[in-house]
C-alpha cells in the first residue's frame, strides 16, 4: 500500500499517547477502583490492562474529525455512485431516530408499553404497501440482498406448498451481483437471459428458458442500465403461465415512486432498499433495511413475527404463522432505519415522493446529455434515475475507467460505479439523485470533460491519479481479504 504523508499524520496521532493522560472522569462514588473491580466477575477481567492510546478528549476529537474529513461522504461532496442512490439524508430523520423513546426501548418490552412504536411500524408498512402496490409487507430483512434472500425463500416455500420442487431462477445478464448470489445462497440454480439491443429483456428470451423447473424470475426495474423494462406484463404472463413467480429487485425505486407500482403489473414479490430510496446514511457495509412486499397469495409465507391487530384493535407481534419461512433477524429488523424511512415519507407526502422521482430522472437525463459527447453512450434512450456510459473512447489513449475514477477524486468527487453492469465494457454508471443542484451537475460535467481532454492530451495525469488525496491507489482486494482494523502494528 502506498500512503502519502498526510495519511501518516492521522496514524501518528496515536503516538501522541502519553501515559496517564485521559479524556474522561468517573463520578465520585466513594468506592475505590478495587471495590469497583471486585464487583465484576473475574472471568470478565483482563489480567493486563488493554493497551489503548491515552489522550485527552480534545485530541481524540481532532483525530476522529480529521479522519472524517479525509474520507469522502455525501455530506462532503457529490457522490454519483450508480445503483446506490447516494442522496442527501435529511438530518431531521436522524433526530427522529434518536428520540429517547425509540433509542431506549427494549425490543422485548411488552406490546402494551410500545404501542407508539408498533403504530409507527404499522403505518410504515401501510405506506410501503401503497407505494409498491402490494397488500403485504415485512420490515424484517436488513439489507437489499437480505430481502432478495427472503423473497427467494418465499418462492421455495410457495412451490413446496404446492407439492413441487423447482430448482431454477431466471436472471437478466444486467442484474446486480447480489441477485445471482442470493439465488445461490438459497440453493437455486441461475439461468441467465440476455438483454436485447435496447438494453431490456424481451418476452421471447424469457419464453425460451421458461420451463416447469423454473421457480421464478428476478428483474430489476428500471434495470441497472437505468432503462425501464417495458415488457414486464408480457414477461409476467409467461412466467406465471409456466407456474413461476416474478420478483422485483426494488433497489431502484428512487426512479418511480408515485408513478409506477410493481404490484400493479404482475410482480409477486419485491424488496425495498429503505436505506437508499427512503434515506438513511449508508455504505461501508450497513446497517440497512430491505423490507419486502408480496401479493396476498404469498402473505402466509412472510417471515415471522408479523405485526397484527387483535380484536380490540391493539397491535402485537404474531408468531402464529405455520407457513412462514421463519425468522430472518433478531427482534424485528433494523428499527432506526424504519424510523428514518417513516420520517422521510411523512415529511414529503405522496406528492413529494413523486417529485423526488421526477427530479431524479430529470437530473440523470440532464447529466447524460452533458457528458455523452465525450463518453460513449451504449444505449441511446431516455434513462430513468441513472445512466451508463462507457470509457471505451479513452481506452485508446491507455486510460481506463478505473483511471478516470481515480482522477475524479482529485476534484473532490466520488467516482461513479465502475465496470458494472457487466454487459457494458469500461462501464461508468452515474446516478446523480434528485438532491443535487444544477450547478453541481454542471460542475461534474465540466470535470468529466476535462478528464476526457486530459486522456487525449496528457494521459499520464489521469493514469497516475489521484494526486491530491490522503491515500493514493490502494490494494482494494488486499484490504478486504486481509482486513486489519487495529491501530497497532
Ligand atoms: C444496492 C442494490 C442491491 C443490494 O442492496 P444491499 O442493501 O446493498 O444488500 C441489490 N440490487 C440493486 C440493483 C442494488 O442497487
> Closest ligand 1 atom, CA of 146?
9
Residues 6+ apart with CB under 8 A from 489: none
Question: Is the CB of residue 84 less than 8 Å from the CB of residue 283?
Answer: yes
Element holding 235 (H helix, E strand): helix 232-241
Q: Which CATH architecture has domain 351-479?
A: Alpha-Beta Complex (3.90)
- Kindly report the protein residue whose alpha carbon is nearest to atom 8 of ligand 1: 144
Strand, helix or coil for residue 91: helix
- Kindly report the protein residue whose alpha carbon is nearest to atom 5 of ligand 1: 144
CATH of domain 91-346: 3.40.640.10
232 exposure class (CB count in 10 Å sphere: 0-12, 13-18, 19+): buried
Counting ligand 1 atoms within 8 A of each CB, the residue from 218, 256, 273, 384 with the most, and so the one to mutate, is 273
**CB hemisphere CA count around 211 (13 angstroms):** 6
Q: Running DSSP on this structure, what letter comes out for residue 268?
A: -
For 106-127, give one letter per residue: b (16+ CB within 10 A) or e: eeeeeeeebeebbebbeebbeb
Distance 177 CA to ligand 1 centre (A): 8
Residues 6+ apart with CB under 8 A from 96: 102, 339, 340, 342, 343
Strand, helix or coil for residue 216: strand
Report the DSSP pairing between strands 269-272 and 292-294: antiparallel
- Kindly report the protein residue whose alpha carbon is nearest to atom 14 of ligand 1: 251
pLDDT score of 1: 31
CATH 3.90.1150.10 domain locations along the chain: 351-479
Residue carrying C-alpha cell 443542484: 437
Strand, helix or coil for residue 215: strand
Q: 146: how many CB neighbours lie within 10 A of its CB?
A: 23
- Kindly report the protein residue whose alpha carbon is nearest to atom 1 of ligand 1: 84
How far apart CA 408 and CA 375 sit, in angstroms, is 15
pLDDT score of 283: 78
The segments of the chain whose pLDDT lies below 70 read 1-14, 28-31, 285-286, 487-489
- Kindly report the protein residue whose alpha carbon is nearest to atom 12 of ligand 1: 251
Element holding 440 (H helix, E strand): helix 438-457
Q: Running DSSP on this structure, what letter comes out for residue 3?
A: B
pLDDT score of 13: 47
Report the DSSP pairing between strands 214-220 and 189-193: unpaired
How far apart CA 213 and CA 396 sit, in angstroms, is 46
Distance 148 CA to ligand 1 centre (A): 9
Terminal C-alpha separation, the chain? 14
How far apart CA 431 and CA 367 sit, in angstroms, is 9
Counting ligand 1 atoms within 8 A of each CB, the residue from 79, 80, 83 with the most, and so the one to mutate, is 83
Distance 262 CA to ligand 1 centre (A): 17
pLDDT score of 3: 39
Amino acid at each position: 500500500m502506498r500512503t502519502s504523508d498526510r495519511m501518516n499524520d492521522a496514524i501518528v496521532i496515536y503516538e501522541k499517547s502519553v501515559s496517564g493522560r485521559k479524556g474522561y472522569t468517573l463520578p465520585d462514588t466513594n468506592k475505590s477502583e478495587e471495590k469497583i473491580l471486585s464487583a465484576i466477575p473475574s472471568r470478565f477481567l483482563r489480567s493486563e490492562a488493554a493497551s489503548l492510546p491515552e489522550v485527552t478528549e480534545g485530541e481524540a476529537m481532532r483525530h476522529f474529525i480529521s479522519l472524517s474529513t479525509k474520507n469522502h461522504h455525501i455530506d462532503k461532496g457529490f457522490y454519483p455512485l450508480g445503483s446506490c442512490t447516494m442522496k442527501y439524508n435529511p438530518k431531521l430523520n436522524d433526530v427522529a431516530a434518536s428520540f429517547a423513546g425509540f433509542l431506549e426501548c427494549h425490543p422485548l418490552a411488552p406490546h402494551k408499553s410500545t404501542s407508539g412504536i408498533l403504530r409507527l411500524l404499522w403505518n410504515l408498512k401501510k405506506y410501503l404497501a401503497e407505494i409498491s402496490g402490494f397488500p403485504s409487507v415485512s420490515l424484517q430483512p436488513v439489507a437489499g440482498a437480505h430481502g432478495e434472500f427472503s423473497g427467494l425463500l418465499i418462492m421455495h416455500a410457495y412451490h413446496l406448498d404446492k407439492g413441487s420442487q423447482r430448482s431454477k431462477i431466471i436472471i437478466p445478464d444486467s442484474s446486480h451481483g447480489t441477485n445471482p448470489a442470493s439465488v445461490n445462497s438459497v440453493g437455486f440454480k441461475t439461468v441467465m437471459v440476455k438483454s436485447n439491443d435496447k438494453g431490456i429483456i424481451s418476452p421471447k428470451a424469457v419464453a425460451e428458458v421458461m420451463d416447469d423447473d423454473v421457480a421464478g424470475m428476478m428483474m430489476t426495474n428500471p434495470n441497472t442500465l437505468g432503462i425501464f423494462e417495458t415488457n414486464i406484463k408480457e414477461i409476467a404472463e409467461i412466467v406465471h403461465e409456466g407456474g413461476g413467480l416474478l420478483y422485483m429487485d426494488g433497489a431502484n425505486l428512487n426512479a418511480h415512486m408515485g408513478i409506477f407500482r410493481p404490484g400493479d403489473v404482475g410482480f409477486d414479490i419485491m424488496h425495498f432498499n429503505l436505506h437508499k430510496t427512503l434515506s438513511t446514511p449508508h455504505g461501508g457495509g450497513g446497517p440497512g433495511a430491505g423490507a419486502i412486499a408480496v401479493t396476498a397469495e404469498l402473505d402466509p409465507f412472510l417471515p415471522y413475527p408479523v405485526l397484527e391487530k387483535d380484536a380490540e384493535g391493539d397491535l402485537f407481534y404474531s408468531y402464529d404463522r405455520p407457513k412462514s419461512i421463519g425468522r430472518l433477524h433478531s427482534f424485528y429488523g433494523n428499527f432506526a432505519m424504519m424510523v428514518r424511512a417513516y420520517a422521510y415519507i411523512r415529511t414529503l407526502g405522496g406528492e413529494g415522493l413523486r417529485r423526488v422521482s421526477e427530479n431524479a430522472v430529470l437530473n440523470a437525463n440532464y447529466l447524460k446529455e452533458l457528458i455523452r459527447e465525450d463518453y460513449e453512450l451504449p444505449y441511446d434512450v431516455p434513462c430513468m434515475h441513472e445512466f451508463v456510459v462507457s470509457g471505451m473512447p479513452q481506452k485508446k489513449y491507455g486510460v481506463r475507467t478505473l483511471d478516470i475514477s481515480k482522477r475524479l477524486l482529485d476534484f473532490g468527487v466520488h467516482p461513479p460505479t465502475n465496470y458494472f453492469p457487466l454487459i457494458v465494457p469500461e462501464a461508468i454508471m452515474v446516478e446523480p439523485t434528485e438532491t443535487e443542484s444544477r450547478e453541481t451537475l454542471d460542475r461534474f460535467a465540466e470535470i468529466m470533460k476535462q478528464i476526457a481532454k486530459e486522456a487525449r492530451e496528457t494521459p499520464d495525469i489521469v493514469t497516475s491519479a489521484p494526486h491530491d488525496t490522503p491515500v493514493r491507489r490502494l490494494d482494494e482486494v488486499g484490504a478486504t481479504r486481509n482486513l486489519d482494523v487495529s491501530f497497532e502494528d
